[in-house]
Amino acid sequence: WSTEPGAASPTFQNDAGLAARVQMTLVADAATVWRIEVSAAAQDAAANYRISMGPVHTATDADRQRANAERALASAEALRREAATPGVAHDTAARDAKQAVVEYEQALRLARAAEDDCLQMMAHADLARLQYATADYSKAVQSAHAALHYRCGADADASAAAERGVAERTLGSALGYTGDLIDGTAAQERALALYRQTGDAHFQAMALGNLSADYRVLGETHKALNAAQGALRLAEAGGDKGRALFVRESIAAIHLQRGELALARDGYMQTVADLRGTPDPMLAGMAWNDLGLLYRELGDDDQSLQAYRSAEIAWKASGNSDGLTETRVNEAEAALDRD
């Protein structure tokens, strides 16, 4: 049995703004009334949902194609997540990503045959996420645009808005890497509006963080600071210590870019202090490197050198050779200035 053709597979969200795609079980209440009972978990919060469905009908060929498309999409998503798992071997991640593309393409063929716009939008949007994660930015832009071509559900439909938010956020990030930062920033703004519509605080914070980074590159530091402060409020309200740390470091960097050295120093010092309780070598490398730059601006050579050495220790711990090289170049330039 199946719901009416074109019905969307919803993204469920609890009161805390945590969303999760879930597997669902149909239970017959009566001859013509069905319900879906869902138990979903996201991070440390769990939520239970009950939603009603409309009339049912005998499954058609299109329904079967749709079901097969959903299975292929679920398989692709599992492979994408596995490929993105921290610490997974490079060869394993590459193999999983390659197989995920096959599954996404299969899902798209079946969804087109079933004339299911919602599934096509989801498959294109999720394929774009995979392509972005594997640094195939041009294809990510194409897939995200393809996802946004489809209309799925009413304008107020939270599930459709969430999927469009995924596509817009991925589009914005990928455009930034292809050099089209203006259009990329516009896409991030649209993603933020969609996440505000759905009430998803986690993805609002992500979109605001992306916008802050984009506006910094564009030199619009006032907008960058406003976006970062908004992201920090959401991260703190949601208890996301890791994201809050990252955003505080970015706020300090914005103050440094604006020449507000005292505010920047306070921000960086709070970041490195907080990192003692929530270690993150990558973030520590960024913060100490920027502190080296800041102290150099202040003419404090000893503090600058000490900060650069702390940055080198952090970069080595994180395995980030690019960051280590940048710090060593900064340290060498500071040494030339002293000479």
Would the CA dihedral through 214, 325, 330, 327 be positive or negative?
positive
Which residues of the chain have a pLDDT value below 70?
1-59, 154-156, 339
| CA pair distance 214, 225, nearest whole angstrom | 11
Provide the pLDDT for residue 33: 41
Q: What is the DSSP string of 217-278?
A: HTT-HHHHHHHHHHHHHHHHHTT-HHHHHHHHHHHHHHHHHTT-HHHHHHHHHHHHHHTTTS
Provide the pLDDT for residue 1: 36
Q: Encode pLDDT of 304-317 as tens digits.
A: 999 999 999 999 99
| CA pair distance 251, 232, nearest whole angstrom | 9
Provide the pLDDT for residue 210: 94
| CA pair distance 319, 316, nearest whole angstrom | 5
N- to C-terminal Cα distance for the chain? Answer: 80
Q: Encode pLDDT of 190-215 as tens digits.
A: 999 999 998 889 899 999 999 999 99
For 284, phi and psi rounded to 5 degrees? -60, -40
DSSP state for residue 7 in the 8-state scheme: -
Please report, for residues 48, 259, 271, the alpha-carbon distance to residue 283 in angstroms, rounded to integers and kept in the order given: 36, 21, 9
